Chain A
Amino acid sequence: MATTHTPESNVKIQDISPTRVKARRVAGRGLLYTLATMFALFAALPFAWMVLTVFKTNEDLYNPQNNPFIYNQPPTLDNLRLLWNDTNFPTFVANTLIVALLVVIITVVVVVPAAYSLVRLSSRWGESLGMLIFLVYLVPPTLLFIPMTGIIADLGLQNSKYAMVLVYPTFTIPFCTWLLMGFMRNFPWEIEEQAMIDGYSRLQAIWKTVIPIIIPGILTVIIFSFTLTLHEFVYSLAFVQASSDKTLSVGVFTELIRGDAYFWQSLMAAAAVIAFPVAFVYNMFLDRFVQGFTVGAVKG
């Protein structure tokens, strides 16, 4: 990018000729597009490679002489069929959906009253306690997974998907409480007060006025407890060794690689089929995620 070496004082904007301005703008745009392309390629590379691999035949893929960037043989859907019909992939999908659904329900049921209580019913310490709860989200699974394995074994939940249902809310609840508090901070509480003056009890007032208005917040909570569940890898790796109860993130990694025999196309298909929808949903709500991360730090 071009720099101006004019001293900061006494500069006259008219001194810069229109052609120079234009040249600088073109150069700036050129640099912008070049950098943007490089970043996008870097970020998308493994996913592009997955998608390219999925539709390749074995003879095409496993020949080191072949150009790996093109289809040397016509693309095929066989690998997707193999994934769906001859592997445990459908079981992993079902398990993941069951775990995610239950985690979402637990999270919403716990988080909505908690956030309401912290924002509305507690005085000064509510905000600080909310911040502390958010910090719990940052306690990493890799610090807790070993004692957690002991607890799960003690409860007789080893090798069960319900171990994950029990443990995943430990990170969805802290994160989503903080997220929902953000939605409630600017809530027009007069509406709720009016309902109570009109004779509703507080619980009725919450149900009739607060819940309908914070539906977008609850939706965000649902999305994030769902995606965080799909992202999780450490706990499920530690808890579940039985194929029947594995979820996607661990199942794909442990079962589609069998010893030294790889089913690369089906493996890539499994990864891509899950990764893209998750990315799509996450991306829509990304701004909310970032707000959750920065609100306490930037604005207090």
Chain B
Amino acid sequence: MTARTASPSVAKAPREERYTFDNERVLGPLMLAPAIIYIVALVGFPLVLAVLYAFSTATAGDPRIDSWDDFVGLRNFRAVLNDGVFTKALRNTIFFTLASQAIVIVLANILSQIMLADFPGKKIFRFLVMLPWTTPIALSVLGWFWIFDSVYSPIDWLMRQMNLLGPGTMFGPARNMYWLGETELAQGAVLMIHVWRTLPLATVILLGGLTSIPNDINEAADIDGAGFWRKLFYIRLPLLLPIMAIAMLFSMIFTFTDLTVSLVLTRGGPVNDTQVLSSWAYFKGIQGGNLSQGAAVALFMLPVLIAIAIGMLRLARRGAND
């Protein structure tokens, strides 16, 4: 930081500017321009458009907003709020996000402790536990989809072997559980996959924080006779709180806005019981061609995202001041 602010002035002093691009006031903005233009044109503009669409009549056949006549006020929001699916989607989104993150924070603390230890085969272990995050989610959910198959699910087979499933058994008389066909089971499956998917991310972020705890604090605690739990609750957790918040905020964004799990696994079913905001926006806006109503649904994600971004900036500023 200090070196950077000091060096340009030192460098500038002895040299006259022989080349046009040696002028930092010209070169700096020029080199940054392509990135800024890309972001403004293809993130900033669509973001504005997302809001405009929600108040307009845009459809897939006629996506343009040319005149004031294309704006219809709150009509899209009224239409969206009046179909029962939206409320379900909103409730499910909140439920999946909060429940999965509550589980993830507990599991991530355990898993990061394991990854701090040394044991044979640790590299392979790391490769395996990171798989849910490092593989494309659309492909890995297909693996779960097959595991939860209505006829050939290996879980069902195991349950039949243990006499838990089939005629005259606890979960019988059906020979299959129909994991993705029953409301509670399908919701449980989606929830579990969200946990499965974001656990590695939360863990590695946490691990970054854990390894930055100075060792002498641990040693001092050892000498004072603090046991594992005491060290966990009085030293590690308080020191880790900011980084845990970061891990949570990141994985919350990914869970809250995820479309893939609900779409690939259940297509929002059964009867929209695993529908989330993003999947409902997809079905309305893209499959149904009603861009404006889809945009209205998706827009309900924005307040939460802004809140998360503010939380993140605050944490970053606190980290910078410490």
Contact = CB atoms under 8 A, between A and B. Distances in A.
Contact of A110 (B35, B228, B264, B281): B35
A298 B208 contact: yes
A117 B152 contact: no
A189 B47 contact: no
Interface string B191-219: 00000100110001101110010000000
A170 B39 contact: yes
Contacts of B125: 36, 40
Given A64-B151, A142-B298, 8 more contacts: A9-B225, A39-B111, A44-B128, A64-B152, A143-B298, A150-B53, A167-B42, A274-B136
A144 B257 contact: no
Contacts of B228: 1, 3
B243 A298 contact: yes
Interface of A: 1, 3-9, 11, 29, 32-33, 35-36, 39-40, 42-47, 49-50, 53, 61-62, 64, 67-69, 109-111, 113-114, 116-124, 127, 131, 133, 135-136, 138-151, 153-154, 166-167, 169-170, 173-174, 177, 189-190, 193, 196-197, 201-203, 227, 230-231, 233-234, 237-238, 248-250, 252-253, 264, 267-268, 270-271, 274-276, 278-280, 282-283, 286, 289-291, 293-294, 296-300
Give the residue among A116, A144, A154, A174 with the most B Cβ atoms within 10 A.
A144
Nearest to A256: B142
Nearest to B32: A117
A235 to B, nearest CB: 10
Contacts of B15: 196-197
B291 A149 contact: yes
Interface of B: 1, 3-5, 7-8, 10-11, 14-15, 18-19, 21-22, 24, 27-32, 34-36, 38-39, 42-43, 45-47, 49-50, 52-53, 58, 60, 63-64, 110-111, 114, 117, 119, 125-132, 134-140, 142-144, 146-147, 151-152, 154, 157, 175, 196, 199-200, 204-205, 207-209, 212, 224-230, 242-243, 246, 250, 253, 257-260, 263-264, 277-278, 281-282, 285-286, 291, 294-295, 298-299, 301-302, 305, 308-309, 312-313, 315-317, 319-322
